[in-house]
Every structure is written in structure tokens, then in C-alpha cells.
Chains A and B, each alone.
Chain A
């Protein structure tokens, strides 16, 4: 038996297939675009599976189009993170349009979570727009920010206000690296606040596309004085979690959670 998980996010769609042991057999990623269902169909044509579960903001669209069960991103990321780090109690996921901090009970059940409301402050979209304003490509943005020597305070959390703040900092002749560093620090302050509201100790698994940014993980660990663990392919953790949950729904009694290798 093969189980698939599809995570339809605001920026990208992730598809993961696992076998009965929970080993990852395939993983795909595509841009969400303006027609997520068509994009999803293209991905699904690449793989075969017996059962699928959907997550992400497009999960309800998928549910209607494919009559598939759904799970929230919160539970999916918790489940996916646990498959890499079976004892983890705290998960931070920062995706394209939202961010969430999740604390777990010892058995892996969600205990408490915090999520940003209604705007893109502190999400991948924020970093993407700021990188563009500073003329960095997204890959280089975090790497470059780490090279800055001094902190520069960016006070606006709002994507629109922060953009004009950055423009005025550039106009004043501030160092580009330091502005980049300041922007990362502002997202981290927000993420750290969310984490502190759900959990006060222990290692943190960092998932979602933003976890690929090396500056974010470094700053987060510094800020919270806690270990920050990043799974391979952090972007696919939600889809992986959904795939594992699709398998669990099939065998609800089974407690064996295999550790897949990506």
C-alpha cells in the first residue's frame, strides 16, 4: 500500500508518497499558481497511491475536487516533524502566507498552537518581498544577512510599511547587509513570541519553506537559547505528515511510525 499527502500552500504545492512503513518513496513540488487544482492534477499524474490526504490552505478545494479527507496544517506539520524527531515537543512552521508555533504532548498530540491572523507579517511572503526590495534573490538573502556585523532595527511588522521603511533606510545610505539582517531579526522576534506563548523549553523543529533560510534558524536559536532542528526538505513536512496520517487512518491501531529518509 502507498499513501500520499498533498500540501496545497499559498506559494507551492507539495506531494509526498510513503509506503506502509512510512518510508518516503516520492516527493514533488510545484508552484501553486492561480489554479491549484490543475497543478495538483499534474502532480498526481506522476505517482500512484491507494489513499491520499490533503492539507494546506487549498485542502478544502482538494476535498471537493477529489473527495479526499483533509487535515489542518497544524496537525500535519506536527506529525511530519515527529517522524524525523520522535521526541520533539515544539514545532515552528513558517510558510508562504502563514506561520504557526505548535506545542505537542509527549505522545505527539497537539497541545496548543498559535497562528498569525489575517496578514502576511512574519511569513515567507514578507521575506520574499523584502529580498526583492533589497535586490537579493531569495536563496542569497539569508546567507548575506548572516554576513552583517551590526544590528539595525526594523520596527514595522506590516509588509507594506516595512517596505517603505526599508526604502527610507536605503535612501539614508544604510548598509544593505545590515538592513537584511534587521529584517530577519524582525521576523524572528515575532516567531519567538509565538513560540514562547506555546512552549518554554526543549528543542524546536523548524519546518516550512522559510526554514531553508540559514539566517532564520541561526537567529532563532540565538534568540531563544534553544536548539533548532531542521529536517531535510523542510518544505515537505506538511505533505509528509498528511501522507503518514493517511496511512494511520487506514490502520488506526498501528503505532509504528517509521522514520523515512528523504
Chain B
């Protein structure tokens, strides 16, 4: 794809040589990890195409939207409400944060003991290799963990369009009041950016568009309850990752197409893995594109991942936004209600998350849980220990993994994951 898009990338200010290198690595990883899988649903062809064009056609679409007057908003977190962006004629995209890039440059700005996800977002900026970031008219940071909120202070020096949203840490009435006022402030900022005031009609439509994406993913999740599992965890994770990039309506349609196919597969008892393959729930930190390290290890160790308790997964898409309100105010309140339920580990205490993990273990008939923690991610690593303890009390095997985006620990991770899978057999 590279030749056609070179002028576009050049215009965006990408470092073409570095970007070629990135695409080379990404393409090779995709081939090794994704295309080598057996018994994939045919509908995954769409996602293969999306990935092959992730820095190409999709960027061109976004630039075409911009030419027509829409604005592009980039985000790093599921607390940034897509409904508000869409209702005011902006498109929301997730920004690259799933691979190490330009780490020597990053080390000049961030302390070494910063999590891989934050470092990666800086690496993509400093290395000039994220066309999403360079296309964005507004970049939204959010005060979630300490690492991110302090890193945004430094990111502000690198970009001129950073908007920082504050978030509460406690789910109290006061916390919710802050949440509400920050969502109102964000709405106003988006409206100012696009010059479009949302109407009750546009907001309702936006809510319905985003809900439809979520409903499609809920349908996919439900189908993963079957044994044999009709789709690999890698492929399902990819659908959850593409959620953040794709055109919403087309995404919904493509996920539903896969689901139609999976329903047939289930009827025919066809799976991506044989029946009785050990089933694993992954819980913890988000896995952004192209961070496929853990599912690759798990699924090559002879287990299948049947659910992600993660921001890139059910934590991010679990609840729908009530679209029954008739006024902008009513629906804004519904949006606040919906997002305030997200059980991110930045909240204290955060009992809902443990309940959701246990619910998901039962729903998806998981044999064990792998708790995925990014090194230096205090909130999730802190929660990992009580989560493991609570699961063990219920005789649910749990393996705690702490890792980053590098490949240096793959050998040891493989041994640990394989031993965990042996335990489940």
C-alpha cells in the first residue's frame, strides 16, 4: 500500500523511513501471529483488510472527512465519550499506544519506570509514525492513573491541541458531580472545535450509532461461550481493537457478518480450537494494537481465550447508553450514567471489577483467569493480588502476569503460561 499513500503521509509530517520500518514490522507480526492461525472465520478477512490499511485507507477516509468539514478527535482512553464527538460532527479515533517505538527519545522525556502504554504513545509522537495523531484536530488526555495524568503535562509540550479531561477517583456523589461537569466541559470544547452545536436529534443518533457497535460486540462475546470456541481470542481481540479505529457503521456491520458466520459454525460444532480446549479469561490492562503478545503466547500454548475483562474488551463496551431521553440534557445525563459505571482500577475502592471478573468466568465457562498487568501500572498491579486471592478462594485458578511490550521475557512467559494450561487440563 505504501506507494499510493506516501504523499499523504508526507503531508501529515510522518518520518517516512521510520514509518516504513514500523509498517514492515507490523505486517510481519500480523502475518506470523494472525494469518498463521488455523480455522479462522472467513469474516475475519474484513479485519485483515482493515489492518493492512490501518495507516492507509482509513487515514485517507479521515482526511476526506476533514475536507468535508468534520473534525478528528484522538483519544487514549475509554472514558472519552464517542457519543459526544459524533453528535457534534467529529470522529473519535483511538491513538497508537501498543508498541515500543523511538524508545531512546522517550527515555529523555519520561522516567524509565513508566508503563509501556504511556511510553508507546510518546514514542509514536516523537518518532512521527502515528498518522492518527497527526490527523487529529484535538487530542484528549484524561486524568486516569498518575502516570498518564503527569505524562500529559509533558505531551502538552509536544502537541498544540491537547485537551485534558479531569476524572474523579471515587464513585461518590461528589465524584459524579465532577464527572458530569467534565463531560459538559468536553461537550462545549467539542462544539467549539467543530462549530456545531449538538441537537437532541444528533445526540440521539450518536448514542444509537455507538450502542450499535457495542451490541455487535456483545453478540460476538455471547457466541464465544460455545465449546468449541468458534473464534480465537486473538481474532476477537482484534475486533475489540478495531472498535477504536473504524468507521462506526461499517464496524457494526462487519462484526455482525462475522457473528452470522459464527452462529453457523456453532450449529455445525466447528471451532477455531478443538472441543474441550482449556478456556481462559484475560483480565487487567488494556491491550492496544499491535500488542498481541499475551494472546499469542496463550493460544500457542494450547488454550483459547474466551473473554477480555479489559478496556479493549468488556470493560470498555459492557454498558449501553440510554437513548430514551428527549432533550440534550437528559441524554447527556444518560451518557454520564453510562461512563461512570466503567470499573477502571483508578477508582477506589473498585469492587465492581472483581464481581465482573467472576461473572465473566461463569458466563464464558472459563477454566482459569490470567491477570494481565503492564509493568509499572500501579492500579492494575495493586488490584491483581486481591483479585487472585478472591479467585483462589472460589477455586478458580489464576496466573498473574506482569510484562511490557518487549519480547525479552517471552521464553519465561511461555513456560509460565504453558504450566498454567497444564494445570487446567
Contact = CB atoms under 8 A, between A and B. Distances in A.
Interface of A: 57, 60, 71-75, 98, 109-113, 115-118
A72 B422 contact: yes
Contacts of A71: 422
Contacts of B414: 60
Given A57-B411, A115-B416, A118-B408, A74 B422 contact: yes
Contacts of B411: 57
A261 B303 CA distance: 36
Nearest to B406: A118
B412 interface: yes
B419 A110 contact: yes
Interface in B397-425: 397, 402, 408-409, 411-412, 414-416, 418-419, 422-423
Interface in B373-418: 392, 397, 402, 408-409, 411-412, 414-416, 418
A228 to B, nearest CB: 23
Given A72-B422, A110-B422, A117 B415 contact: no
A113 B419 contact: yes
A57 B415 contact: yes
Contacts of B408: 118
A72 B418 contact: yes
24 contacts: A57-B415, A60-B414, A72-B418, A72-B419, A72-B422, A73-B415, A73-B419, A74-B415, A74-B419, A74-B422, A75-B422, A98-B415, A109-B423, A110-B423, A111-B423, A112-B392, A113-B419, A115-B412, A115-B415, A115-B416, A116-B412, A117-B402, A117-B409, A118-B412
Contacts of A109: 423
A74 B392 CA distance: 19
The 8 closest A-B pairs by CB, nearest first: A74-B419, A72-B419, A118-B409, A72-B418, A75-B422, A110-B423, A72-B415, A115-B416
A105 B389 CA distance: 17
A118 B416 CA distance: 12
A111 B392 CA distance: 10
Nearest to A73: B415
A118 B397 CA distance: 23
Nearest to B425: A109
Given A110-B422, A110-B423, A115-B415, 20 more contacts: A60-B414, A71-B422, A72-B415, A72-B418, A72-B419, A73-B419, A98-B415, A109-B423, A110-B419, A111-B423, A112-B392, A112-B397, A113-B416, A113-B419, A115-B412, A115-B419, A116-B412, A117-B402, A117-B409, A118-B412
Contacts of A74: 415, 419, 422
Nearest to A105: B423
Interface of B: 392, 397, 402, 408-409, 411-412, 414-416, 418-419, 422-423
A113 B368 CA distance: 14
* Residue in A74, A109, A116 with the greatest tally of chain B CB atoms within 10 Å: A74
Nearest to B301: A72
A113 B398 CA distance: 10
A257 B363 CA distance: 38
Contacts of A57: 411, 415
Nearest to A118: B409
Contacts of B423: 109-111
A173 to B, nearest CB: 35
Nearest to B300: A60
Contacts of A111: 423
A113 B402 CA distance: 15
A57 B422 CA distance: 16
A148 to B, nearest CB: 33
Contacts of A116: 412
Nearest to A98: B412
Nearest to B411: A57
A72 B409 CA distance: 16
A112 B415 CA distance: 14
Contacts of A110: 419, 422-423
A113 B411 CA distance: 17
Contacts of B416: 113, 115
B145 to A, nearest CB: 22
Contacts of B422: 71-72, 74-75, 110
A110 B424 CA distance: 9
A246 to B, nearest CB: 15
A241 B56 CA distance: 53
A115 B414 CA distance: 12
Nearest to A55: B415
A72 B418 CA distance: 7
Contact of A75 (B397, B402, B419): B419
A72 B411 CA distance: 12
Nearest to B413: A117
A57 B392 CA distance: 28
Nearest to B410: A118
A118 B392 CA distance: 25
A234 to B, nearest CB: 19
Nearest to B375: A117
A57 B418 CA distance: 12
A213 B422 CA distance: 30
Contact of B412 (A75, A113, A117): A117
A248 to B, nearest CB: 13
A115 B420 CA distance: 12
Nearest to B414: A60
* Residue in B412, B419, B422 with the greatest tally of chain A CB atoms within 10 Å: B419
Contacts of A117: 402, 409, 412
A71 B414 CA distance: 12
Nearest to B400: A114
A108 B419 CA distance: 14
Contacts of A115: 412, 415-416, 419
Contacts of B412: 98, 115-118
B412 to A, nearest CB: 6
A116 B423 CA distance: 18
